[in-house]
A and B are shown apart, each in its own frame.
Chain A
Amino acid sequence: MASVFEYAPAPESRSVVDIAPSYGLFIDGEFTDAADGKVFKTVSPSSEEVLAEVAQAGAADVDRAVKAARRAFEKWSALPGSERAKYLFRIARIIQERSRELAVLETLDNGKPIRETRDADLPLVAAHFFYYAGWADKLGHAGYGADPRPLGVAGQVIPWNFPLLMLAWKIAPALAAGNTVVLKPAETTPLSALFFADICRQAGLPKGVVNIIPGYGDAGAELVAHPDVNKVAFTGSTAVGKAIARQIAGTDKKVTLELGGKGANIVFDDAPIDQAVEGIVNGIFFNQGQVCCAGSRLLVQESIHDELLDSLKRRLSTLRLGDPLDKNTDIGAINSADQLARITALAETGEAEGAERWSPACELPSSGYWFAPTLFTNVTQAHTVARDEIFGPVLSVLTFRTPDEAVAKANNSQYGLSAGIWTEKGSRILAVANQLRAGVVWANTFNKFDPTSPFGGYKESGFGREGGRHGLEGYLDV
């Protein structure tokens, strides 16, 4: 960063959000303590400051929440679609009205920069509710028969990387289709879900339609296993996804899993280089790389490898890492000490296996969980950093010679969630995209989301689609 034009701190005000010292579980329209009185603390990853104490759901609470959702289901599913739509539109509007507050809250609890929560997370959250509100009275036209029925109670478990957005992806289609939900947010990021509970009350949503039960993995497992849950929706790690699949085997529960990824970002020699560099940066450093569809493998045509790497390194040197609430911050904090340890260990493995590690000169704050943007070059398919999902700001750079080789290497992964293609040649985009085994393929862009577009994986990245018309299927008895 140029020293003569030093940006003064431009922090977004914390005063727009009022975080209470403690929060309960949201069950049947009320905030209540956990049955066993357990609580846990949620901290701000950028400072390790304790933000609030939150009730921790256990088996009894899961049961209570599922029963509340079951009681609410009959009336909710019997409402005309146009009535359910009214609630969803109302929720969407309240989210828009409170978006600044929610953006600051999300940044505090998650550690991601305010620039992202303000410009990406919150607009997408509102858009998702608006979009599915529109479907609520048109389910008969979605291609699933004249009058498709909801499933019942949906048990939903979401991750910490996009806490409110993943909530929206889960709750909006579920409610539009006429289901009621019990949602467990991640233990490191429960706050925005609890604020959403307040929004449900503000919108006058009938009691029990949405229940929010913060807790750990055990509560998630209880929810998945609960006999009165008809649908399980999970976004998170492949290991937990496999456990869930085993858990529900032999039941009639419908399930959608959105799991890990190791997205290939393929840059051909005729790519728009400057924009490709932006796309690579956005692909792996958006949300500190804690994105399941991150473009964590850069496949670059060998003939432009050096030129592209020079551009990429120059660009990384301008990334601004620091206080997530500062409006000029590009890279925020890693979400938790555990995640930081995992990223650190995998990066060390990369070095130990002989890949070349590079980071821009970058001062890390003394408190909180931080990891500098990192590149690995001289990476081959055999390296751990080319195969395992790191879920952090770490990019592995590999090369290819021909389009066939690019496709072969891109597909040579246990995952199949996302991929990117960079070329000015339209026919190549179409040809390569058709051969990629990935749920989302971006052309000359990366990490672009829209509620109308289905999202989901191949292989160990999971199954089922969220978003778009396709996203309704997971919540309808079809």
Chain B
Amino acid sequence: MPTTLTAFADVTTSDSALRRFLHGLPGVDAVGLEARAASLGTRSIKTTAKAYAIDLAISMIDLTTLEGADTPGKVRALSAKAVNPDPTDRTTPMTAAVCVYPDMVATAKAALNGADVKIASVATAFPAGRAALPVKLADTRDAVAAGADEIDMVIDRGAFLAGRYLETYELIRTIKEACVREDGSAARLKVIFETGELSTYDNIRRASWIGMLAGADFIKTSTGKVGVNATPANTLLMLEAVRDFRAQTGIQIGVKPAGGIRTTKDAIKFLVLVNETVGEDWLSNHWFRFGASSLLNDLLMQRQKLSTGRYSGPDYVTVD
């Protein structure tokens, strides 16, 4: 399989070349996109399929705390939950990662104590991204140095909306370089578009292509800090983008919807989108993640329901 970006080499040589390319992408019909997402939302996932989907969803969660009030205690509790989501059932899979602010990475690393749960850190002046480049770079390097396995950066929505696409592209490239560790390995880079601020589906498709061309390992919908976060429609659109990108370059890129996914029912709808849009190659936590916090407990309650036949209620899952 070709794994090359050479076909797109001239696309990023100038602002105007990039603009021509992005505006030459097929448009998105909003009504049709939302109708398709809604129609896949009517799939009925029962019994064995539901059990599979619940475990898969748990294993795809980036268990997140991104509050001004985060303390080491909160992060330690979150990390313990990530490793051992359901103390009553040790067969429950671990979450994919914990997701914290850069200054909490060291705390999370100590708390996880080598468990197979990744540490994701937001960076680049999350969530607004309104800081100078040196600040964003320092933010990123700090998180990587503290032991982050993954960096969740935000794009400069201001630059994007002002039409400065190349600047948006260059920022991602620069942060990607800052993800490289001293030993030459690199943290995986997730690029957050804040789709709620980009507002149109055409913008989301263009931003997805900027991210993929610039070397994102994941493209991610949102910070969870604005009114509209992950939706089935914007996630479907981004799945179509990574599908098309792999078809043209051979490079596979992950997708992470984040924010607003709170129930098992919602999570399963997203997994159906993955299954029927990009297929089984993306059905693992290396290629698909949920940015969520309260989702996990709902998944655990549904998991208990499947294994015991009874709803146990919120007092039978841990509140952290």
A residues apposed to B, CB below 8 Å: 1-10, 115, 119, 270-276, 278-279, 318, 327-328, 424, 444-445
The contact of B49 among A3, A5, A275, A276, by CB within 8 Å, is A5
Residues on the B chain within 8 Å of A115, using CB = 42
Residues on the A chain within 8 Å of B279, using CB = 2
Residues on the B chain within 8 Å of A328, using CB = 43-44
B247's closest neighbor in chain A, by CB?
Answer: A310
How far is B287's CA from A2's CA once the two chains are assembled, in angstroms? 15
How far is B47's CA from A327's CA once the two chains are assembled, in angstroms? 14
Given contacts A2-B283, A424-B27, contact A8 B42 (CB under 8 A): no
Question: Is B276 in contact with A318, judged by CB distance below 8 angstroms?
Answer: yes
How far is B44's CA from A275's CA once the two chains are assembled, in angstroms? 23
How far is B39's CA from A318's CA once the two chains are assembled, in angstroms? 14
A310's closest neighbor in chain B, by CB?
Answer: B247
B232 to chain A, nearest CB (A): 14
Question: Is B29 in contact with A275, judged by CB distance below 8 angstroms?
Answer: yes
Residues on the B chain within 8 Å of A119, using CB = 42
Question: Is A278 in contact with B28, judged by CB distance below 8 angstroms?
Answer: no
Residues on the A chain within 8 Å of B52, using CB = 4-6
How far is B42's CA from A244's CA once the two chains are assembled, in angstroms? 42
Residues on the B chain within 8 Å of A8, using CB = 45-50
Identify the stretch in B30-38, B147-155, B214-222 within 8 Å (CB) of chain A at 4 or more residues. B30-38
> Does any Cβ of A come within 8 Å of B275's Cβ?
yes
B279's closest neighbor in chain A, by CB?
Answer: A2
Residues on the B chain within 8 Å of A278, using CB = 32, 35-36
| Chain B 14-35 near chain A by CB (<8 Å), digits 1 or 0 | 0000000000001111011101
Residues on the B chain within 8 Å of A5, using CB = 49, 52-53, 56, 271, 275, 280, 283
B189 to chain A, nearest CB (A): 26
| Chain B 244-275 near chain A by CB (<8 Å), digits 1 or 0 | 00000000000000000000000000010001
B31's closest neighbor in chain A, by CB?
Answer: A445
Residues on the A chain within 8 Å of B26, using CB = 270-274
- What total count of A-B pairs have CB within 8 Å? 77
Question: Is B32 in contact with A272, judged by CB distance below 8 angstroms?
Answer: yes
B178 to chain A, nearest CB (A): 34
Residues on the A chain within 8 Å of B28, using CB = 272, 274-275
Question: Is A279 in contact with B276, judged by CB distance below 8 angstroms?
Answer: no
Question: Is A275 in contact with B32, judged by CB distance below 8 angstroms?
Answer: yes
> Does any Cβ of A come within 8 Å of B240's Cβ?
yes
How far is B178's CA from A472's CA once the two chains are assembled, in angstroms? 70
The contact of A275 among B33, B43, B47, B48, by CB within 8 Å, is B33
19 residue pairs of the A-B complex, CB under 8 angstroms, read A2-B279, A5-B271, A5-B275, A7-B45, A8-B45, A9-B46, A270-B27, A271-B27, A272-B26, A272-B27, A272-B32, A274-B26, A275-B31, A278-B35, A278-B36, A279-B32, A328-B43, A424-B29, A444-B31
How far is B33's CA from A445's CA once the two chains are assembled, in angstroms? 11
B35's closest neighbor in chain A, by CB?
Answer: A278
B136 to chain A, nearest CB (A): 33
A425's closest neighbor in chain B, by CB?
Answer: B27
How far is B29's CA from A445's CA once the two chains are assembled, in angstroms? 9
| Chain B 50-66 near chain A by CB (<8 Å), digits 1 or 0 | 10110010000000000
Question: Is B240 in contact with A10, judged by CB distance below 8 angstroms?
Answer: no
How far is B45's CA from A115's CA once the two chains are assembled, in angstroms? 14
Residues on the B chain within 8 Å of A272, using CB = 26-29, 32
A279's closest neighbor in chain B, by CB?
Answer: B32
A390 to chain B, nearest CB (A): 25
Question: Is B44 in contact with A327, judged by CB distance below 8 angstroms?
Answer: yes
Residues on the B chain within 8 Å of A273, using CB = 26
B282's closest neighbor in chain A, by CB?
Answer: A2
Question: Is A4 in contact with B45, judged by CB distance below 8 angstroms?
Answer: no
A424 to chain B, nearest CB (A): 4
How far is B36's CA from A318's CA once the two chains are assembled, in angstroms? 13
Given contacts A273-B26, A318-B276, contact A7 B32 (CB under 8 A): no
Residues on the B chain within 8 Å of A4, using CB = 52, 280, 283
Residues on the A chain within 8 Å of B32, using CB = 272, 274-276, 278-279, 444-445
Given contacts A5-B53, A10-B45, contact A274 B271 (CB under 8 A): no
How far is B33's CA from A276's CA once the two chains are assembled, in angstroms? 10
How far is B47's CA from A272's CA once the two chains are assembled, in angstroms? 37
A450 to chain B, nearest CB (A): 14
B243 to chain A, nearest CB (A): 9
Given contacts A10-B44, A444-B32, contact A274 B283 (CB under 8 A): no
How far is B27's CA from A424's CA once the two chains are assembled, in angstroms? 7
How far is B274's CA from A318's CA once the two chains are assembled, in angstroms? 12
> Most chain-B CB neighbours within 10 Å: which of A2, A276, A327?
A2
Residues on the A chain within 8 Å of B29, using CB = 272, 275, 424, 444
A7's closest neighbor in chain B, by CB?
Answer: B49
B30 to chain A, nearest CB (A): 9
Q: A10-B46, A328-B44 provided; 9 other pairs, C-beta below 8 A?
A: A1-B275, A2-B279, A4-B283, A5-B280, A8-B46, A274-B36, A275-B29, A275-B31, A327-B43
Question: Is A6 in contact with B31, judged by CB distance below 8 angstroms?
Answer: no
Question: Is B50 in contact with A2, judged by CB distance below 8 angstroms?
Answer: no
How far is B229's CA from A132's CA once the two chains are assembled, in angstroms? 41
B55 to chain A, nearest CB (A): 11
Residues on the B chain within 8 Å of A327, using CB = 42-44
How far is B283's CA from A216's CA once the two chains are assembled, in angstroms? 52
Given contacts A274-B28, A275-B32, A275-B36, contact A2 B49 (CB under 8 A): no
B275 to chain A, nearest CB (A): 5
How far is B279's CA from A350's CA once the two chains are assembled, in angstroms? 32
